[in-house]
Structure 1
Amino acid sequence: MASPGSWRRDGNLPAELTSFVGRDRLLAGLGQRLRDHRLVTVTGIGGVGKSRTALRAAHQVAGHFPDGVWYADLSRLQDPFMVAHAVNAALGIADQSARPEADTLAEWLGDRELLLVIDSCEHVLTAGAELIERVLRAAPGVRVLATSRQSLGVQGEQSVPIPPLSVPGDDRSESPYVNEAVRLFAERAAAVVPGFAVDEDNILAVSELCRRLDGIPLALELAAVRLRALSVEQILALLTDRFSLLAGASRTALPRHQTLRAAIGWSHELCEPAERLLWARLSIFSGDFELEAACQVCSGDTLPEEIIMDLISGLVEKSILLSSVERSGSRYRLLDTLRHYGLEWLDKLGETEALRRRHRDYYLALAERGELAWSGPRQVYWFGRMRQEHDNIRAALDFCLRDPQEARTGLTLLSSLWFMWVACGFAREGRLYLERALRASPDPSRERCKALWVLSYVRSAQGDTVGALEAAEQCAGDAVRVGDSIAVILATKMQGTAAWLQGDLHKATALLGVAIEFHRSGRELNPGLLPAIVELAVVLTQQDELDEAEALLRDCRQLCAERGELWLRSYAVWATSAIERMTGRTADAVFSAQEALRIKRHFHDVLGAVVAMETLSQLALDQGDAARAARILGAAQVNWQLFGLPLFGSPFFGTEHEQCVKECKRLLGEEAYQEAYRQGTRMDFEEAVSYAMGEIDAAG
């Protein structure tokens, strides 16, 4: 399986839904539209099956797109500014640079032939439309299939409205047993009550139920769940009474979007009072969540924590909540339409603000736990956990950034997540949030100081050394004003990092040395001590002080082993490989560089991986295999572009790279070099890592 940041040629399209009733003609027409037009938007009311129809159509036409079919879900976004970021992330584009994300996306898609499915655009309509226009202009081989409750308004757009399923009576020549709505209800009913079948005893009631629900798939599915306790006739009688109250006796008096609301409302009323309250409170989550989060955020008042699990089980049984089993345990989520209904009830209860604050507090506590545990033996767990909680982290940050009174807490949350921004593959997103939060909190404070050195760290990871130095210097000045000695030292460390990347080795040596001496007596490993040791060792290596550099790295690796720290250990091992290469220990250097790559497979660390690949290309050249070196160079270059940086913006990396290229060309000749290099560029990220580690042969 490809790593989270790799370009997978088969795309990331979710598995095809096992259940899909009817709409064969509509799908055939949609497939033809996708072959004839560059932008097709599937429109329709909530619950009508837009996403399901788009996914089925995408699976059917996947063979027409050499670079695959890719899926981006915007339903969980609250901030339109995050649209481009969400699409980049869905495509596996790990660009962490400071470039505009729309530029990155347009450049990466430029020469590809693929279908991009963008789901749920209606709540970020303008931002989504602008991004799609940009993509279509820049990438002639890309086609877009969007879903939205309304058209995007983009030139050349082909809108395909998705109607509800046909109901008995729409086609007088059709047997009700083969009607689309009846078939869907029967399928869902059989899943709820094994052995259920539509027969002559219930066909009239089922047909009328389908007509009452206007053939809306979500409404039919919710009704089918009631068969656990009621007969079809009882369900129909209750629905008829409810609809009569809403719209009189005439079915046509009730618009279809109101039909869905009525069906959801009826399901809501049939829940126990405690289930209804939990439904409303769970709507505060963005995406999926775990039981612990539900207990801590939603309990209280009339909802004691000890009954939350039973209530969740009840909502799962009623198909209000969807559940999935992950490695970390069970997780739950509300369908988007049901979540919005729950949010409306939460507003009516007057609990929205309090629940958003409790939600934020839970994820703040989680971030602080992750920060404290990051340098320990569960580092891989925390990497996966924070990526899993990404949607809810965003929601918590959005809450803080919308309210000036929450701005300082927002800084605390953002800066506690430094390991997520730098080590988990979200540097660009972290920078966007940090800069917004710092603008909202201009007065010096300890929270602001921490956010500033985190911003400096993030900017360095992007290769923006000027911006990193600016943030570090501002942090140092503010820290002196508020008396924050820890922030002063961390700002010193970040200034040392920027100096190293800018090639000012003497300044870097002094500043990093100060940071190391300050932190040696403390227990804090990241982001002060360990990164400073590795960076100082690299600086010393560049100054040919190899014995001192290797001793530093030996101590660093030992400390990492004792604490169970892996992420920084991979960098220490890579830095060691450079020294081993310079001292003629080629076999040891290869082993170390490959060990660094092996560790990095646990993390979304494209930057660290391509740095190690650069070293392995140089080592292949040292071993006399210039063709292998050229292939690794090609693979590394593609992923430097994926990361969005020209060799990390550092003259050190650039010089080593150019020397390797020049020697490969001398040994192979221009034509043979270009062919080997081309083979490398055709590898995706996982293939490139496997090739550099000697696990597979070169791609053709």
Structure 2
Amino acid sequence: MASPGAWRRDGNLPAELTSFVGRDRLLATLRQRLLEARLVTVTGIGGVGKSRTALRAAHQMLAQYRDGVWYADLSRLQDPIMVPHAINAALGIADQSARPEIETLADWLAERELLLVIDSCEHVVAATAQLVERVLRAAPGVRVLATSRQSLGVQGEQSLPIAPLLVPGDDRGESPYLNESVQLFAERASAVVPGFSVDEENITAVSELCRRLDGIPLAIELAAVRLRALSVEQILALLIDRFSLLAGASRTALPRHQTLRAAIGWSHELCAPAERLLWARLSVFSGDFELEAAREVCAGETLPEDEVMDLISGLIEKSILLSSSERSGVRYRLIDTLRQYGREWLDKLGETDDVRSRHRDYYLGLAERGEGAWSGPRQVYWFGRMRQEHDNIRAALDFCLRDPAEARTGLTLLSSLWFMWVACGFAREGRLYLERALAASPDPSRERCKALWVLAYVRSAQGDTAGALEAAEQCANDAVRVGDRIAWILATKMQGTAAWLKGDLHKATTLLGAAIQFHRSGRELNPGLLPAIVELAVVLTQQGELEEAEDLLRDCRQLCAERGELWLRSYAVWATSAIERMTGRTADAVFSAQEALRMKRHFHDVLGVVVAMETLSQLALDQGDAARAARMLGAGQVNWQMFGLPLFGSPFFGTEHEQCVKECRRLLGEDAYAEAYRQGTRMDFEEAVSYALGESGPDPRDGAA
């Protein structure tokens, strides 16, 4: 399916849209419904083309929506509680705030005019309906286009059922060559067998084949693939045999959902035994996956590892498996309907728990590799990789959280992913998982200790200082009981962070200084040593000990450069800009703050971006450009709201911010300040970063000078 997120107006069509047979009237009806209603749900059986139709109509209506068309795919979710997470992630909202996610989403959408496409809702219909109701109340400029096998049941919803394609005989008077089903078969067949065409010799067999398949697009596409080895007549004969087994040869007794299952089952039977086994085992993956993962998870005594690649190629040739070329390499995925079929077979084989366990183990190993490499030169790679594996990480966590026997392993996986929760934009999701896992494992253990300091870290990032301190103190107590020295040191560091954010600078200095001393071996840079150094430097800066703070940051930047660490280095550079500003080195301060901002772009680090923008707004004011400062204040405030408690709730950050606002108002006057601030609030995340870096000016449509 199309990638989550917004389609650029000048971008290429998603692959699913490059071929679309017939249904012009249906598309026109759907476009008209979207003009009339704020919620339209496209319904129909699996394989009938709901997603493709919705995507096509949405793309045709791009120009109708000032803020674009956005796409969210829910087919990979297993837990309804994750619906808001998936929608926020699709919209590019940094998933960090401690507020309820639906509130975050509603606030973000409130002033926007866009179309939100929510695909494959049937298995999470209640949660989706609740979210859509809230969005429609809060955001009058938003329209929602959903696809589901059933309506959402939301007031004002218009449902548009999608029937299968017309088959020959349905469109009386039309030539069978012009029939929708026949045209789809001809198109797919010519892609499989170059030069194939529907002609006088095969039109009768093709027409009957389409009738037998009830005009269901997915069934027709699966049948067309068989032309690599069979003639149309042979395909039809085999299919009739299968239908006879299912329905006693009664054509009228065969419901359409059975038609689809028959077509899928027939494709299943035509696979080699090893291909069928791999299909079943691949069904444990959520979303796409790489070859290494398929080998690790699916190979075994009955399926040699060195055969997996050839079997994958066979499934691709049969249109069971899809492949796509990404920057990181080739990735594979099963269509949702075929994945469900594979899961049923995996259950029948009695292998579900074993294969899901191997799937969990693979992603646990990946998480641990990422944790070990995070502070090195491949940090940007691991940021992208873990975001790419997000769906499979969720599936692995769900497996652990549903089985009490897997609770400790779940804690290990969750805590190994601390860098994903804090640095990759998933703090709120991490907090949800951590709190659930800790509640399920109340007895002190090393695994629980690590999960507690990770939870403290996540809560601090959200501005929940009290919650962070609670988790850190509990970690310290449990660490003493189980003899976990590392956890105790990290708990000390997290308590120091909480003290800093509360404004208790003396306590913060003591605790952060102790954490640094304990970590002086230098073997572990994150999340203990480097963050403690940067935070202590900020505390010293707030206390006026600028020379000592700058020395600390210089050492920190050098250590980061030697190790190839970029994420924490950006914070050290930002903290340096604050010292440069306080000592009158304005040009140096602007350079440092913008350098930090450029680094943060690699990680979509909303927290780091808004902190840097606060500094740049103050620097703009220092340079006499109050309008620029006000725009950045507006842009920063919007992103603070999305991230969590504005300015961490920290007295230091809050005081600096209010002083900047007050001075901008004085210099510009209330009306001019309000207009400049409003222009900032209209910038999206990337626009705000570009503006803060001096790469672009304010949007001329906003009436800026």
Same topology, TM > 0.5: yes
2:271 matched to which residue of 1? Answer: 271
1:167–1:181 CA contact under 8 A, matched in 2: yes
2:415 matched to which residue of 1? Answer: 415
Answer with 476-485 or 509-518: which moved more.
476-485
Task: After superposition, give the CA deviation of every residue in 1:180-230 in whole Å (9 maximum; x if it has no partner).
Answer: 000000000011111111111110010010001010000000011111111
Q: 1:151 Cα shift?
A: 1.5
The 3-state SS of whatever aligns with 1:159 is strand
1:606 matched to which residue of 2? Answer: 606
1:634 matched to which residue of 2? Answer: 634
C-alpha distance in structure 2 between counterparts of 1:37 and 1:578, whole Å: 51
The 3-state SS of whatever aligns with 1:92 is coil
Answer with 675-684 or 653-662: which moved more.
675-684
Answer with 82-91 or 137-146: which moved more.
137-146
1:451 matched to which residue of 2? Answer: 451
Is the aligned partner of 1:67 residue 2:67?
Answer: yes
2:51–2:119 CA contact under 8 A, matched in 1: yes
Is the aligned partner of 1:586 residue 2:621?
Answer: no
2:44 matched to which residue of 1? Answer: 44
Answer with 541-550 or 22-31: which moved more.
22-31
C-alpha distance in structure 2 between counterparts of 1:265 and 1:387, whole Å: 34
Which residue identity is paired with 2:74?
Answer: L
2:116 matched to which residue of 1? Answer: 116
1:131 matched to which residue of 2? Answer: 131
1:4–1:604 CA contact under 8 A, matched in 2: no
1:6–1:93 CA contact under 8 A, matched in 2: no
Q: 1:140 Cα shift?
A: 2.4
Task: After superposition, give the CA deviation of every residue in 1:507-546 in whole Å (9 maximum; x if it has no partner).
Answer: 0000000000000024000000000000000000000000
1:13–1:69 CA contact under 8 A, matched in 2: no
C-alpha distance in structure 2 between counterparts of 1:285 and 1:564, whole Å: 33
2:456–2:494 CA contact under 8 A, matched in 1: yes
2:284–2:343 CA contact under 8 A, matched in 1: yes
The 3-state SS of whatever aligns with 1:116 is strand
Is the aligned partner of 1:143 residue 2:143?
Answer: yes
Q: 1:137 Cα shift?
A: 2.1
1:498 matched to which residue of 2? Answer: 498
Is the aligned partner of 1:348 residue 2:352?
Answer: no
The 3-state SS of whatever aligns with 2:150 is coil
Q: 1:676 Cα shift?
A: 2.2
1:196 matched to which residue of 2? Answer: 196
2:221 matched to which residue of 1? Answer: 221
C-alpha distance in structure 1 between counterparts of 2:56 and 2:682, whole Å: 29
1:84 matched to which residue of 2? Answer: 84
C-alpha distance in structure 2 between counterparts of 1:490 and 1:318, whole Å: 52
C-alpha distance in structure 1 between counterparts of 2:180 and 2:35, whole Å: 26
2:522–2:529 CA contact under 8 A, matched in 1: no
Structure 1: stretches of 5+ with no match in the other structure = none
Q: 1:6 Cα shift?
A: 9.8
Answer with 683-692 or 520-529: which moved more.
683-692
Task: After superposition, give the CA deviation of every residue in 1:88-116 in whole Å (9 maximum; x if it has no partner).
Answer: 11111114111111111122222322221
1:518 matched to which residue of 2? Answer: 518
Which residue identity is paired with 2:452?
Answer: L
C-alpha distance in structure 2 between counterparts of 1:135 and 1:695, whole Å: 33
Which residue identity is paired with 2:281?
Answer: R
1:428 matched to which residue of 2? Answer: 428
Aligned-CA RMSD value: 1.7
Kindly, what percent of the aligned residue pairs are identical? Answer: 88
C-alpha distance in structure 2 between counterparts of 1:88 and 1:175, whole Å: 48
1:467 matched to which residue of 2? Answer: 467
2:167–2:181 CA contact under 8 A, matched in 1: yes
C-alpha distance in structure 2 between counterparts of 1:528 and 1:426, whole Å: 20
Structure-2 change in CA distance of 1:506 and 1:450 (3 Å): same
Q: 1:675 Cα shift?
A: 2.5
2:703 matched to which residue of 1? Answer: none
Which residue identity is paired with 1:674?
Answer: A
Structure-2 change in CA distance of 1:683 and 1:140 (3 Å): closer
Which residue identity is paired with 1:202?
Answer: N
Q: 1:14 Cα shift?
A: 4.9
2:380 matched to which residue of 1? Answer: 380
1:177 matched to which residue of 2? Answer: 177
Structure-2 change in CA distance of 1:8 and 1:135 (3 Å): farther
Answer with 454-463 or 158-167: which moved more.
158-167
Answer with 16-25 or 460-469: which moved more.
16-25
Structure-2 change in CA distance of 1:509 and 1:13 (3 Å): farther
Structure 2: stretches of 5+ with no match in the other structure = 701-705
1:338 matched to which residue of 2? Answer: 338
2:44–2:162 CA contact under 8 A, matched in 1: yes
Is the aligned partner of 1:527 residue 2:545?
Answer: no
Point out which structure has higher relative CO (alpha carbons under 8 A, 6+ apart): 1
- What are the equivalent positions in structure 2 for 1:593-672 lying under 5 Å apart? 593-672=593-672
1:34 matched to which residue of 2? Answer: 34
The 3-state SS of whatever aligns with 2:519 is helix
Structure-2 change in CA distance of 1:16 and 1:315 (3 Å): closer
Q: 1:81 Cα shift?
A: 0.5
Which residue identity is paired with 2:53?
Answer: T
2:289 matched to which residue of 1? Answer: 289
2:5–2:70 CA contact under 8 A, matched in 1: no
The 3-state SS of whatever aligns with 2:159 is strand
Q: 1:469 Cα shift?
A: 0.3
Is the aligned partner of 1:308 residue 2:304?
Answer: no
1:7–1:93 CA contact under 8 A, matched in 2: no
Task: After superposition, give the CA deviation of every residue in 1:135-164 in whole Å (9 maximum; x if it has no partner).
Answer: 222222222111111122222222111110
C-alpha distance in structure 2 between counterparts of 1:33 and 1:399, whole Å: 40
2:104–2:641 CA contact under 8 A, matched in 1: no
Structure-2 change in CA distance of 1:73 and 1:11 (3 Å): farther
The 3-state SS of whatever aligns with 1:117 is strand
1:557 matched to which residue of 2? Answer: 557
Q: 1:22 Cα shift?
A: 1.1
Structure-2 change in CA distance of 1:311 and 1:5 (3 Å): closer
Q: 1:323 Cα shift?
A: 0.1
Structure-2 change in CA distance of 1:67 and 1:698 (3 Å): closer
1:289–1:332 CA contact under 8 A, matched in 2: yes
C-alpha distance in structure 2 between counterparts of 1:694 and 1:205, whole Å: 65
Q: 1:38 Cα shift?
A: 1.8
Which residue identity is paired with 1:405?
Answer: A
2:153 matched to which residue of 1? Answer: 153
Q: 1:4 Cα shift?
A: 9.9
The 3-state SS of whatever aligns with 2:147 is strand
Task: After superposition, give the CA deviation of every residue in 1:544-573 in whole Å (9 maximum; x if it has no partner).
Answer: 000100000000000000000000000000
C-alpha distance in structure 1 between counterparts of 2:611 and 2:13, whole Å: 30
Q: 1:10 Cα shift?
A: 9.2
1:455–1:471 CA contact under 8 A, matched in 2: yes
Answer with 91-100 or 173-182: which moved more.
91-100
Is the aligned partner of 1:691 residue 2:688?
Answer: no
C-alpha distance in structure 2 between counterparts of 1:199 and 1:424, whole Å: 55
Task: After superposition, give the CA deviation of every residue in 1:48-78 in whole Å (9 maximum; x if it has no partner).
Answer: 0010111112122332222222111100000
Which residue identity is paired with 1:555?
Answer: D
The 3-state SS of whatever aligns with 2:526 is coil
Structure-2 change in CA distance of 1:455 and 1:465 (3 Å): same
Which residue identity is paired with 1:271?
Answer: C
Which residue identity is paired with 1:160?
Answer: L
Structure-2 change in CA distance of 1:16 and 1:185 (3 Å): closer
1:320–1:335 CA contact under 8 A, matched in 2: yes
Structure-2 change in CA distance of 1:171 and 1:77 (3 Å): same
The 3-state SS of whatever aligns with 2:40 is strand
The 3-state SS of whatever aligns with 1:520 is coil
C-alpha distance in structure 2 between counterparts of 1:675 and 1:63, whole Å: 27
Which residue identity is paired with 1:656?
Answer: E
The 3-state SS of whatever aligns with 1:105 is helix
Q: 1:15 Cα shift?
A: 6.2
1:566–1:599 CA contact under 8 A, matched in 2: yes
2:4–2:71 CA contact under 8 A, matched in 1: no
